[in-house]
Amino acid sequence: MPESESIFNLGIALGLGLLVGLQRERAGSAIAGIRTFAIITLLGAAAAMLTEPLGAWVVVAGFLSVAVLTLVGNLIRPVAEESPGVTTEAAMLLMYGVGAMVVLGPRIPAVMVGAACAILLQVKPVLQRLAKALSDADIKAIMQFAAMTLILLPIVPDVPMGPFDVLNPRSLWWMVVLVVGMSLLGYVAYRVFGGRRGTALAGILGGMISSTATTVSFSRRAKESPGSAGVCVLAIMLASCVLYVRVLVELWAAARTHFLAIAPAVGWLFLISVVIAGLAVMRARGQPATLAAQKNPSELRSALFFAALYAAVLVASAAAHRQFGTSGIYAVAAISGLTDMDAITLSSARMAMETTVTPPQASNAIVIAALSNTVFKTGVMAVIGGGALLRRVWWLIAIKLAAGSVILMW
């Protein structure tokens, strides 16, 4: 190995050791602090450098030495110390391995592991709060979804089947994992931070979980308390902003090669929604918002429902395209987009990848679905929220629909 590369690897190992050691030093660890972690990581890197002339046993011997040191540290620790745990000791062993991995490769995953170790050590209070915030039912639902994803997914058939050969069970379930995973992140954040953290967080978390459900819940609140209509409008508009971020993530995952051709229209819708949310902010300053109780999106029933919806949109789009051409797909987009943007986004992206439609046609289908979704939510606000909410929101919706129509005709 060239000397310059060896020095570079040692520098990376030292930096990662200092990063983790700094965290442990601040946490008041009695076993190892900033210097100890830096030395251990350098030891791993140095041992790895000696494997070429001496053999792999050097790395193993170094690992066993660090393990003995951690054991001795535990033995000499004061007996009176309560519940010491083994987190620091485990981190010491891991960082030795990271140091060796930096030299032996691959280097980037080694850096990622070291950074992840530091982050996990730092976010202990958040993780503890998360464990307490999630109910037994939440944990059960998450474990069910993890089992279906990690155990069943690898054995699911990876072949086209069903009407028009558009249903591939494995790719279909991957899309379910993507959509439910994003919703689950929002739900976990909601459980950790709670609903009473301000209008912005209420709207953003609501958009991550379900923008339609958020619209319904805040419309109901505006009906019950007309004085809060302004803050309800803001939360609904913010949820719509997050909806377009979800769409962009889905496009990147499902049609990466056509992303730059499809995404600009969605990007414009997002920017327009941000401007509209900014206008709504002016009427909602100082008013707290409470996010209504949310349902765990990883529940088996929710996941299977989206899988069925996505499959139905795929089949309907294929049938409509065969029978009516592009106009048939646009009709399906308008109908399916009423209550859900995920299914039509993913199906349009897939058709673009399969060259069933062109990227501009896929983009138009998504914009049509977005406009349809906006109209549906306006109806929800009118029916559930009543006049107090509709009077505050109609002009914002009009701006959004007009801008969307311009994008569609562009």
- Torsion over CA of 8, 14, 20 and 21, rounded to 10 degrees? -170
Cβ burial 251-260 (10 Å sphere, 16+ → b, else e): bebbbeebbe
pLDDT of 365 above 90? yes
Alpha helices in 325-358 (DSSP H): 326-336, 342-353
Q: What does the pLDDT look like over 241-280, one tens digit per residue?
A: 999 999 999 999 999 999 999 999 999 999 999 998 888 7
Q: Quick one: DSSP state of residue 293?
A: P
Residue located via tokens 């409509």: 320
> Cα-flanking dihedrals φ and ψ of residue 161, to 5°?
-155, 180
CA 214 to chain centre: 18
DSSP calls for 245-257 = HHHHHHHHHH-GG
Q: What's the mean pLDDT in 91-105?
A: 91
CA-based nearest residue to 200, from 269, 279, 292, 291: 291
Model confidence pLDDT, tens digit, residues 151-209: 877 888 888 887 877 788 888 888 788 777 777 777 777 776 655 455 677 778 778 88
Return phi, psi of residue 195, to 5°. -85, -20
In this prediction, residue 294 carries a pLDDT of 61
Phi, psi of 380 (to 5 degrees): -60, -45
Residue 167 sits at φ, ψ, to 5 deg, of: -105, 110
Annotate 351-363 with three-state secondary structure. Answer: HHHCCCCCHHHHH
> Residue 341 pLDDT more than 80?
yes
Alpha-carbon span 32 to 273, nearest angstrom:
50
Give the model's confidence band at 114: pLDDT under 50 very low, under 70 low, under 90 confident, else very high.
very high
- Measured at the CA of 283, the angle between CA 271 and CA 384, to 5 degrees, comes to 85
Q: What is the residue whose two structure tokens read 């000499």? A: 76
Is pLDDT at 388 greater than 90 in this prediction? Answer: no
